[in-house]
Each structure stands twice: as structure tokens, then as C-alpha cells.
Structure 1
Amino acid sequence: MSSTSEGCLLRVCVFLLLLIVSLVQISFFMLLPQIKIHERSCASDMGALDPPVRHERSPPKSVPVAAAHVETSVKLQSTPMALFYQSLFLSPDDIGFHAREQQRLEARKPTKSPRIRGPEDTTDDAKPVDPEPELKVKSGFFLQSLGQGLEPWNSSAAYCINLITPSNSSDLLTDLDMYMSALPSSRPIHSYTETVVLPPSVIDVYLERHPGNSEYFPDFHVPKQKAIWLMQNVDSFDRHELKNPTVGVMIVKNRIGLQKVLEYRLRHRLQYAVLYTKHTSPDIYDPTVSRDWNAFLHIAGKSHQANTMAILAAWAKHSEWPSLHLYVTAKGLCLRIEDTYGTPAAWDLENVVFKCEEVSDVRRRQLQNQFGVHLYPSESEGFGHQINEARSSGALIVTSNVAPMNELIDERIGVLIGKPHGWWWQTTGDLFLPLARVEEDDVVDGVNRILTWNDHTRQRIGRRARARYLEDRTYFLNVMAALEESLCHDEIRIDKLEPYLY
């Protein structure tokens, strides 16, 4: 009897503890500051060719609720710039270190003396090097007119922009390619391949991870007197890295990311500036490929957040639907599909073409242009390169009605399904990005909606999606051009970059 009562008491205590924790979490989220971004101040809602209106100079007027506008939060009407300028600081000590290191390496190289007769002489004829050369360098020194930034990428000479990537993930390397193609005065630094002494630059842009993260930067030497620029995807925000005092500028790709980092800055009274750039992906459109508007494509790749099983469950109950072409790379997901619907040799679904294999870039682009309707109802995305590539191809896209997916696709240029999970633990990243909840019935509703449209309607929506892709791409290129012109010429002027800073 005693053991039974003790067991009941223990269960009651555990229940009360869980209740208290839940109440604390609910209170925490209710008390979070809410950031309101006026549409005319949010770059995402502006025309692709026009920068957003600065609210420091002309505060936005109140507009009717019916117009779906809101007043910009007062606390966002000024941009903290101290760390921004510190990120442009080029320390003479750092320049001196690299100059001496380069001279030391040059001095080690043996110099061959030419001889007409006799054995080859390998005497080192190099001139002695002053270990402490006089450095007539000013803080912030960078002059393209003197040839800086024109040397090979692997040189230790000064460049305008260092782009540092800590891993070789496909999406991150795509990001790197997009920045490299849009920033002529940038060079790539692959910190995961070798020990790196960071060459001098005007700004150092770290993609996804902070250099203080030893997991990604185990042997990486960075300037100690300089603030950094940090680009993190919205699904991988790290609060420890955001709060690091060396972060001078946060680069964000989407509106949900902009809102999250601004709320975090306000909540913790941080001083980083935020550069809102949108983003882009490779343009894969191929007008020579004949497109089938009555076939569906789903490329899951290695992602475990693609809701592939919900898509298959919907097709399994609707044999009358058009064909679904499914490509999966992850072995675990392949085994799960085969356990449920059979191996490719004994496949149960007649209207589903299933391939478990690696898809090359050439083959993937061919598939993306061949099929008219693409299914990408992701649970979460950092940006959504696959969705954006589908936009570039002019496809009709089905995706999740949760940010950032529904920033790339809205009801005018695609089909939105599902909804966000309702609880705080059903989020991702340290800034609590809601995960999408997409179930079999959601897929059924979305596909049935598409089946009521004729091919002409599907093509028209696909053209709208490509037009939106081009608009966002133009905006991204405009921001990159403003960044290049502001920081990478002989004189630093940020007036063209300022409209994109928060």
C-alpha cells in the first residue's frame, strides 16, 4: 500500500513540474516584444528596383487597417551603426602580421645561382628580410586604384570582402556561389579544408557559423580587433553566436528572419545592424524542354523534412490521380518507403514512379523543367533553394503555408497547404521558427485544387512564379551592388547601402 501511494505521489509531482514548466514557457512567449515592420519600410514588399523608404528621414504615416499596413515600431526607427563601422576597421597590426608572414615565407625559398659550368648551386641568395618592416598603413586602408583586390584568391593580399564558409553542404556552397557571382571584389575562404590565417579585408562575411564556434573553426585565426558580418539561415539561428559582441552586421534573407533578429536585438539590447538582402538561387529555366503540366515532381534528396510520406500516403489512396515522379537520396527514407509500399521491383503504386538514387545537377535541372507541378511542402527551410529553383523554372509549386516557404510562394503564384505547429517545442533554431504541419489530407486538398485547373491556368501561375523569382533576384543583386559600391571603392560611402540597413 505504501509503495502504491508513493508511486501516485511521484506521478503527481511530475505532473505538477511539467505544468509549471509549460506555464513558464507560455508566459515567456506572451511577454516577448512584438516587432511591427511597416510594409513601405520592409524591403521585401518594395518594388525590385526601388530601395525601401528610410523611416529615419520620413517616418511612415498611419494607414487604414483595410490596406493591410501597420506602423513601424518606434524602436526600429534608428539603426545601431557603431559595430557596423567597427566591422570596416582594418587593423595595421593585422596588415603587418600578414606582410611579415609573407616575407618570411619568401625568404625561405632557395634562390638558384646561374652557372655556365660546374654543379648546380642551391645557395640561398635571398636578401635578408627586416623582421619588423616599417608599415605606412592607415587604419581602414584599401585602395583598388593601387591594385588591391585584383590578386589571385589564394594570395594573402588585401581584398575587399572575405566570404568564409565552414562546411561543404550543398545549400551553403550554393549560397557562396550566389554571393561570389554578385560581389566582384570578394574571394572565398574554405575554412573546413585547411588551417586558415584570415587574409586582410575590408569586411569578413561568415556564412552560417560564427568563427568562435570551435566545432566548425577548429584552427582558424581571425583579426581580434574587428567586428564581423554573419549570415545565418532562419532555421539555424544560434543565440550564443547572435549575442557574441563581435557580431557587427547580421545578413538575413527573408522577412521572418528580419523580424526574428530585430526582436532578439531589442530583447537583449544588442548593437548589431541588420542587412536585409533577400536571396537568390541559380536560374535553371530551359525553354527548350517540353513541359508536362499533368505530372507531379517531388525530389526529396537527403532531407528528412520534406513530408515525403504524407505525399505518398495521399497518392496511395488516389489511384485516379496523374503520375507522381519521386526521387529520394536518403537511404533511411528509401528503406521506410520500401517497407511501406514495396521495393522498386515490387512497387504497389501504379501512378508513382519511385527512384532511390543520387540525382546529378544536370539530371535534376532536366526534371525540374520537364514536369509542370512541383511538390515541396517542407516542414522547415533556411531559405528554400529547391523551391526557388522551381520558381525560376516557371513551375506550379505546392508548398507549406508557413514562413519562410510562404514568402517564396503565395496563393497568387502557387498552392499553400498545411499550417504551423501550435506549441513552443514544435519549433527549430534558437529563435523558435515554427515548423509546418502537413498531413495527408492537406496534400489531398492541394492536389485536388490543382486538378480543377486546366493546363492554361497552371502555365499562367507558373509564369507568375518565375516573374516573382526574377523580381527577388533583381532585389538581391541591387543590394549586392550597393554593398560593392559602398565598401569596395577607394572611398567608403554607405549612402547607397543605408536604405537596406535596420
Structure 2
Amino acid sequence: YAREGNNPRHSKVWFTQHTSSDPTALARAQSKAGPSTFGSIRPKDFTNLRVFHANGHSWQKNTPKILDCWNERPTFPYLNVYSKDELSNRTYWTHFRDKTPSNLAYHLGEDIDPAAFGKLMAEASVILCPSTMEGFGHYINQARAAGALVVTTNAAPMNEFVDESSGVLIGASARGTNGRVMMGDGTEWDVEPSAICAGMDQVLAMTPYARQKMAQEGQRKYFDQLGYFRAQMNDLRDWLRQ
């Protein structure tokens, strides 16, 4: 890459930033078109918090650590977890085989269509994204688009989407990659349950107004990036027509 003359065709790199679809757009469209079947979307409540987390099959979202935290803190706000991985399932039943949590609903293996998923994110006031690593960061970006207060890992690239003005950052320590990753170390991070709990304590210490303003700042930054992406794509098309 650093070798002199390594671009004989004089290729141009076009910086666009990263963008993702807004998952709530389809939900709002369906709610408007069929309110009797799809239902209405509840407004976000930054006083009585609704917390949301989804990881699908991914092991990178630290879902077991979230379950560990909620097991230790039964007074935390109500959390909906949507998961399909076996480690999270084992963790849930380790904690709750003999008791039913009062502040947690664990949805294992449920297939959610895009509109229903968008509705869940539209209604959530807090979305947990304590990732070990991210490929593109779509989940974090979609959480910002949904206007939720995002709680994510204080490490790259997660803290490139969310900073201290637009979300709550969770402490993490770098995990060695043992030469498995071409980019080297600093791409995978360990997040402890205590750090997730500390992040939620920070959320709970805020006023409802402060939570809402922070969530709105994250959403604003999402749309700023979306606007930048569109502008750069228009510039690219103009350049290609030359």
C-alpha cells in the first residue's frame, strides 16, 4: 500500500462516510397504511425507559454479558432481548431456570419482519450495543436513526458512531487477536457485565430531558452522515460524467 507508484491507473478514492437504512421508516409507513392491523407506534418515553437489544446469531454483541448484568440488577428498567445464538440461550437459563425475571423478556429464535423490527426500535428509548467488534456498524447506526439513546462500547469503530455528546460509552479493554486479523490488535474488545451496568447507571442518573437531548443528538449525526453520503454520491456521478 505504501509502495511508491502503486496506483498506476491513478484511481480516485471517494470518501463517503458510512450510512444505513432507517429501520423505523417502514414501520411508520405500515402504521399509517394499516393502523388497525399493524398498530400504532408508541412515542419514546425517556422517563419510564424501554430498553432494547437484538443480536440475531451474532456473538459479537455481548448479549450474554447483558443478561449477566440484568441478573445482577433486578431493579433495572424493563429490557427486551431478541436473540438466536446458543450461548445467550444458555446464559439466560443459567440465571433464570428457577425464577422469572421481572425486568427482562428474552425472545429466543423469533423471526421478526423488518416493519415489526423497526417498530420495536422506534418505541425503544434506550438501545444497548456493547459490541466486541463491528464490521459495518449497521445496528448502531440504525439505533441512532431510530432516535434512541445508544449505549455502546468506548472503542473503535463503535465510538466513531457515538461519542459522549450523543450516547453513553461503556468501558472496554483491548483483546489480543494473535495475528488472526490483518489490521492487527485494537479491533476486538472485551466488555464486562459490570461495565454494562455502569453504563446503565449513567443513563439512570440523567434527567429524562438529558436522555432525550442526547438521543436526538445521535439521530442528528446519523442524518448529517446520510446527507454527506448523498452529496458525495452526487459528486461522484458528476465526476464520472466528465
Question: TM-score, normalization: structure 1?
Answer: 0.42
1:280 and 2:34 matched:
no
Decide whether the 8 Å contact of 1:297 with 1:326 is kept in 2. Answer: yes
Structure 2 counterpart SS, 1:310: helix
Match of 2:112 among 351, 359, 370: 359
Distance 1:428 1:413 in 2: 33
Structure 1: tracts of 5 or more residues without a match = 1-74, 86-272, 493-502
Structure 1 counterpart SS, 2:125: strand
Structure with the larger helix share: 2
Offset of residue 360 of structure 1: 1.7
Task: Tell me the equivalent position of 1:407.
Answer: 160
1:369 and 2:122 matched:
yes
AA matched with 2:79? L
* Structure 1 residue ranges, 4+ long, deviating more than 6 angstroms after superposition: none
Offset of residue 417 of structure 1: 0.7
Offset of residue 434 of structure 1: 2.2
Distance 1:328 1:424 in 2: 26
Task: Tell me the equivalent position of 1:83.
Answer: 9
Offset of residue 420 of structure 1: 3.6
Find the structure with the greater CA-based Rg: 1
1:460 and 2:199 matched:
no
Match of 1:305 among 49, 54, 60: 60
Offset of residue 445 of structure 1: 0.8
AA matched with 1:385? H
Decide whether the 8 Å contact of 1:341 with 1:348 is kept in 2. Answer: no
Structure 2 counterpart SS, 1:83: coil
Deviation per CA, 1:156-201, whole angstroms, max 9, x where unpaired?
xxxxxxxxxxxxxxxxxxxxxxxxxxxxxxxxxxxxxxxxxxxxxx
Task: Tell me the equivalent position of 1:337.
Answer: 91
Deviation per CA, 1:397-419, whole angstroms, max 9, x where unpaired?
00011111100000100011122
AA matched with 2:9? L
Structure 2 counterpart SS, 1:276: coil
In the TM superposition, 1:93-132 aligns within 5 A as none
Distance 1:421 1:281 in 2: 27
Decide whether the 8 Å contact of 1:418 with 1:436 is kept in 2. Answer: no
Offset of residue 318 of structure 1: 1.0
Q: 1:471 to 1:79 in 2, by over 3 A?
A: farther
Distance 1:80 1:405 in 2: 31
AA matched with 1:83? R
Distance 1:476 1:80 in 2: 27
Distance 2:89 2:23 in 1: 31
Q: Percent identity?
A: 31
Structure 2: tracts of 5 or more residues without a match = 29-40
AA matched with 1:423? G
1:441 and 2:180 matched:
no
In the TM superposition, 1:248-259 aligns within 5 A as none
Task: Tell me the equivalent position of 1:318.
Answer: 73
Distance 1:81 1:334 in 2: 46
Distance 2:137 2:188 in 1: 14
Decide whether the 8 Å contact of 1:300 with 1:308 is kept in 2. Answer: yes
* Higher RCO (C-alpha under 8 Å, 6+ residues apart): 2
Offset of residue 276 of structure 1: 2.5
In the TM superposition, 1:193-204 aligns within 5 A as none
Task: Tell me the equivalent position of 2:139.
Answer: 386
